[in-house]
Amino acid sequence: MKNYSPKDIKNVVLVGSPGSGKTTLAEAMAFEGKVIDRRGSIENNNTISDNTDIEHEYKRSIFSTTLFTEFMNRKLNIIDCPGSDDFCGNLFSAFKVADVGIMLVNAQEGWAVGNEIHSRYAKILNKPLICFVNQMDAEKANFEQTIDSIKADSIVKPVVVQYPVGSGASFEGFIDVLMMKMYRFKDDNGTREECDIPADEMDRATAYNQELTETAAEYDDNLMELYFDKGTLTQDDIRAGLRIGVAKRGVMPVFCGSGRRDIGTKRLMEFVINVGPGPQDAPAFLSTDGQEIPANEAGDTTLFVFKSQVEGHVGEINFFRVVSGKLTKGMELTNTRSGNKEKLTQIFAVVGKNRIEVTELSAGDIGCTVKLKGTRTNDTLSVANVTIEPIVFPEPRYRAAVKATEQSNEEKLGKLLQDARFEDPTILVEYSKELKQTIIQGQGEHHLNILKTRIANENKIAMEFFAPKIPYRETITKVAQADYRHKKQSGGAGQFGEVHMVIEPYYEGIPEPSKYKVNGKEITVNIKGKEEYDLEWGGKLQYYNSIVGGAIDARFMPAILKGIMEKMDEGPLTGSYARDIRVVIYDGKMHPVDSNEISFKLAARNAFKEAFKQAGPKIMEPMYIVEVLTPTEYMGSVMSDLQNRRAMIMGMESDKGFDRLNARVPLAELYRYSTTLSSLTSGSATYTMKFDAYEQVPSDVQDKLLKAYTDTDED
């Protein structure tokens, strides 16, 4: 295949709800460009996209698929994305390198939650959209209701470019109000007949044309003057106005057809080529220092890796967009993150699983390469010292503890989970020293269950998910005093150490200690030394040496601190980290022979534990801000469920047919929330969650936690 210059390239991403027909449309686009000579189907497991065993099993997209087609002497790079929000990481990656999105809407369902979610992602990432109302040949297809739903709910204003002639079994084509022609289709292979608009459709077509013309004129002052002067615009004038409006995300042109029957595919592709932004029209990529990097063939060769995957017989594959310059086979580039030199001995244009080796790719084009040394998603490869601004992936929404069913497979499972992280950056895996569990996080329970199934099928390793422990924190609410003597004699040198301490809650701006009155006893503090520590798990520890008269030798003070820190690391109440505490060591005793570091460490540990339990101890739990987006009819059920999870509702608002609810919810109540929310709303709601702060647990919850820890401790 030939090398295309930036002006002849369009990069599009197919988005929309599950079942809207993205994969089928991608198949039709590849067929129209003669990249394939026969269209596959989801039912027969032979489409370019959805080409993995797990996708064949579930009959839906789970990974994004990159492909291209050649049409009108242009190259269209297409990324077909999953519809489920559990796999939204694919969409963020695709939007990074695509210049325009094609939003597919199921003509039987109208503007669904999946469309709304993807539309909001497009807004966040500032990507324009073109709409394709698909499945007009389906039994319950209704174009008018679909358009009404788009007008009611879409963030971007829709404008009709095509409307169907017939629907369901009688769907035979469409009227294009930009071309002012009717297109009738004779078969299921895109063979079309161009006709004049029937007389009984002319009024409707003219009204849509008028609306399209007025919309196009809105985005250019010269066009607006021309329209006022002549009362009409040429097709080229309309395209020019729409080109501006689409790029500004002010308008979303609406097309219609059937991907399954290849109806409307050609006109959609023609419009993308004539109106959709390309690499030279779209906003330039930015470097991490804010520098714009235009899609210039003559610039320094720079690639951005937007996706990485592992194939058993090939190894690691990296998909990239050429941001600037020209990439040639055998070129050596620098990974700006690692500093490694990478030689690209093979470069490919991609059609799903098929890779076509090429000798060069120019700025704006998309391709892949193999066998690089440690390059991964979000890396920049360049001849210049420039790093492309990375993709910001969404925060995880689901967490679980994970372990191999057979302990002997733990090490293998760890490697496989890291491979999964390489392929999908929205999967996070870490061993928590605090919880003594391996914690895996993702976008939903379905997201992680798919991973579990893949690993079981492909590697014959079974794993199980279970409720993760909660990273509680322990602290105190009042002043307390304790002393403890550690004494042990077992022949020869013994052990002796006695520590007296006061503890109190620490807060920012707390005054220096001078005098305490605890249990009717006054304790005067003469500060000899002060140490302050920012704890790695949050909060602070202040440690004061207030020993007078040499009651404890200075050389034992570090051992006392070590004993306190050990108990902070495993708090007295539940074994969780303790935080925000001031400790004053004011007295003690030592023995000239038997005192040593271990004695004072143990004395300090036990004195701290006793004082802690007398100091109004409280358990703190992590609170998360949860934002739910749900169709209005499910709002009552969603709110009731959250309140049962000890949530504090912070606000609600309606937003174009959807309700948005904000709440603060304890992490302990969010396990498997994604599954519950899906069940409550028939899969039509979504949510995000983000850590907010630690907050004291209610007394009844604290009692349960203390009892559970006591029982475990006794065991």
* Domain ranges in the chain with CATH number 2.40.30.10: 285-299+319-382
CATH entry, 398-469, from 3.40.50.10470, 3.20.20.70, 3.30.70.870, 3.40.50.720: 3.30.70.870
What architecture (CATH level 2) is domain 7-275? 3-Layer(aba) Sandwich (3.40)
Neighbours of 672 (CB within 10 A): 13
What pLDDT, on the 0 to 100 scale, is given for residue 189? 85
Q: Which one-letter amino acid corresponds to residue 472?
A: Y
Q: Which one-letter amino acid corresponds to residue 540?
A: K
Determine the Cα–Cα distance for residues 440 and 416; give it in Å rounded to an integer: 12
- The CATH number that domain 619-701 falls under is 3.30.70.240
Q: Which residues make beta-bridge pairs with 630?
A: 659
- The C-alpha angle 689, 694, 695, rounded to 5 degrees, equals 110
Q: Which one-letter amino acid corresponds to residue 315?
A: G
Q: Which one-letter amino acid corresponds to residue 619?
A: I
Query: Radius of gyration (Cα) for the chain, nearest Å?
Result: 32
Please report, for residues 408, 427, 449, 671, 675, the alpha-carbon distance to residue 402 in angstroms, rounded to integers and kept in the order given. 14, 13, 11, 14, 18
Task: With beta carbons less than 8 A apart as the criterion, state whether 350 and 307 touch.
Answer: no
Task: With beta carbons less than 8 A apart as the criterion, state whether 263 and 133 touch.
Answer: no
* Domain ranges in the chain with CATH number 3.30.70.240: 619-701
Residues of the chain short of pLDDT 50, as ranges, are: 714-715
Tokens of 104: 């597919």
Residue 138 Ramachandran class (φ > 0 left, ψ -120 to 50 alpha, else beta): beta
Please report, for residues 84, 104, 139, 308, the alpha-carbon distance to residue 136 in angstroms, rounded to integers and kept in the order given. 22, 12, 8, 36
| pLDDT tens sequence across 130-186 | 999 999 999 999 999 999 999 988 989 999 999 999 999 999 999 999 999 999 998
pTM for the model: 0.88
At 114, give phi and psi (nearest 5°): -60, -40
Q: Residue 513, exposed/middle/buried by CB under 10 A (0-12, 13-18, 19+)? A: buried
Of 605, 594, 597, residue with least CA distance to 554: 597
At 572, give phi and psi (nearest 5°): -65, -25
What is the three-state SS of 221-260? HHHHHHHHHHCCCCHHHHHHHHHHHHHCCCEEEEEECECC
Q: Residue 514, exposed/middle/buried by CB under 10 A (0-12, 13-18, 19+)? A: exposed
Pairing of strands 285-286, 157-160: unpaired
What pLDDT, on the 0 to 100 scale, is given for residue 711? 66
- The CATH number that domain 285-299+319-382 falls under is 2.40.30.10
SS3 561: helix
Determine the Cα–Cα distance for residues 561 and 496; give it in Å rounded to an integer: 17
Determine the Cα–Cα distance for residues 696 and 690; give it in Å rounded to an integer: 18
* Domain ranges in the chain with CATH number 3.30.70.870: 398-469
Tokens of 128: 């324009």
Determine the Cα–Cα distance for residues 268 and 258; give it in Å rounded to an integer: 11
Of 493, 519, 689, 484, residue with least CA distance to 604: 484
Task: With beta carbons less than 8 A apart as the criterion, state whether 23 and 89 touch.
Answer: no
Determine the Cα–Cα distance for residues 254 and 268; give it in Å rounded to an integer: 10
Of 71, 108, 78, 59, residue with least CA distance to 15: 78
Neighbours of 293 (CB within 10 A): 23
Q: Which residues make beta-bridge pairs with 208?
A: none
At 100, give phi and psi (nearest 5°): -155, 145
Determine the Cα–Cα distance for residues 146 and 156; give it in Å rounded to an integer: 15
526: CB partners within 8 A, 6+ apart? 546, 548
For tokens 């704890």, name the residue: 535
Please report, for residues 7, 215, 549, 567, the alpha-carbon distance to residue 226 in angstroms, rounded to integers and kept in the order given. 28, 13, 96, 79
What pLDDT, on the 0 to 100 scale, is given for residue 683? 82
Please report, for residues 152, 238, 656, 658, 673, the alpha-carbon distance to residue 631 in angstroms, rounded to integers and kept in the order given. 13, 36, 10, 5, 17
Determine the Cα–Cα distance for residues 209 and 174; give it in Å rounded to an integer: 14
SS3 content of the chain, % helix, strand, coil (to 5): 30, 35, 35
Angle between helices 673-680 and 445-459 (to 10 degrees): 110
* Domain ranges in the chain with CATH number 3.40.50.300: 7-275
Q: How many CA atoms are closer than 13 Å to the CA of 653, on its beta-carbon side? A: 6
Q: Which one-letter amino acid corresponds to residue 111?
A: W
What pLDDT, on the 0 to 100 scale, is given for residue 700? 93
What pLDDT, on the 0 to 100 scale, is given for residue 510? 95
Domain covering 477-612 assigned CATH 3.30.230.10 in the classification: yes
